[in-house]
Amino acid sequence: LFMNEHFGGNGRVCNTCHVDGGKAKGKLPNGQPLPSLRNAAAIFPHIRGRDHKLVTLPDQIESCIQGGLQGTPPEYGSEDLNSLVSYITSLSQGKKINMGGKPR
């Protein structure tokens, strides 16, 4: 899913911006740098500063699919969303939990 699925969007996949399977620093289509996803699961959930909303890892994945891929995210609790959460969580193995921390 991370490497091949565009979720009906603009043809981009997760790996388009989060290169090397999310293991390396990437960049948005506008050139803005993105941190790797190596500690992504360890920093969620967090409170988003601009509206003080609690954001979970599945919420963030859905936001990326809607925004960056301009696609339709999988249903909450679906096998596809759970698979993406599991994959991103695997990248954080061995990292300390740091809810509200910064991506690296």
pLDDT digits (tens, 9 = 90+) for 6-38: 999 999 999 999 999 999 999 998 999 999 999
- Model pLDDT, residue 29: 87
Alpha helices for the chain (secondary structure H) = 14-17, 57-67, 79-91
Q: What is the pLDDT of residues 39-90, one digit of tens each?
A: 999 999 988 888 999 999 999 999 999 999 999 999 999 999 999 999 999 9
pTM of the model: 0.90
Q: How confident is the model at residue 98 (pLDDT cuts 50, 70, 90)?
A: confident
90: exposed, middle or buried (Cβ count in 10 Å: 0-12, 13-18, 19+): exposed
Inter-residue contact 12 to 26 (CB < 8 Å): no
